[in-house]
Amino acid sequence: MAFPSCVSVAITAMMLLVTCCHCATYQEQFMGPQNAARAHLRLKPLKWDAKLARYAQWWANQRRGDCALTHSNGPYGENLFWGSGNRWGPSQAAYGWLSEARSYNYRSNSCNSEMCGHYTQIVWKNTQKIGCAHVICNGGGGVFLTCNYDPPGNFLGRKPY
């Protein structure tokens, strides 16, 4: 039985809306916490970039076999996250990176005792775009998540903001 054309259009529109809402939620899980940290510092929000997301997905796919926290050494800034099991999500990675703020000393532009480069990449003033991805690693190897940033940050001797 064929649907009348208006019903068919309505069903197609609903499917697109559900798909877009899912994508927006996924993007927002990555971007929301990061843009909140930027807003706190009065920095412009990062905008989602499909090209960066494709790059991030390409790199995540390369890591699916070993889940190694190895950087792609590409042209973008890059944050990596790994968690055991398969229940890690985008916001957990973002909050993990942002937790490094407690180690960053703005006055000396250095990390106090722990890593803080993920945080400084997120709040790098000149960075405008973000694209992220994740994969479940083979053989129960955990979850690998990555975000790429353009323009990149973390230039030696320069403060992020």
Give yes or no for a contact between 157 and 64, defined as CB atoms under 8 angstroms apart: no
* Per-residue pLDDT tens over the stretch 13-64: 333 333 344 455 899 999 999 999 999 999 999 999 999 999 999 999 999 9
In the predicted structure, residue 147 carries a pLDDT above the cut 80: yes
pTM: 0.84
Q: Which CATH class is domain 25-148?
A: alpha beta
The answer for 70, left when phi > 0, alpha when psi is -120 to 50, beta otherwise, is: beta
**Domains of the chain: which residue ranges?**
25-148
Average pLDDT over residues 75-95: 96
From residue 77, how far is each of 20, 101, 105, 109 by CA, in Å?
Answer: 26, 17, 21, 18
DSSP type of residue 99? G
In the predicted structure, residue 113 carries a pLDDT above the cut 60: yes
